[in-house]
Amino acid sequence: MRVRLMALSHIKEGANNSQTARNLHISRRIVNDWVKRFYEQGLDGLKEKPRSGR
């Protein structure tokens, strides 16, 4: 959750998704997904989703 909040903080400060991804060493797609989920669901959208245990 910490990295997700850092990503949103970078974007709020004016960085774009590509710059944010590069600075945090994560993919741009992940940043795009987090931003979209944040705008749609708020902080709840940033929480880890349960995964199958297979």
Residue 49's pLDDT is 82
Domain hosting 31: range is: 2-46
Write the DSSP symbol of residue 14.
Answer: T
d(CA 38, CA 6): 13
Q: What is the pLDDT along the chain (54 residues), one digit of tens a residue?
A: 899 999 999 999 999 999 999 999 999 999 999 999 999 999 999 998 888 877
18 falls within a domain? yes
Q: Which residue spans within the chain are E strands per DSSP? A: none
Q: How many domains, in total, are found in the chain?
A: 1
53 falls within a domain? no
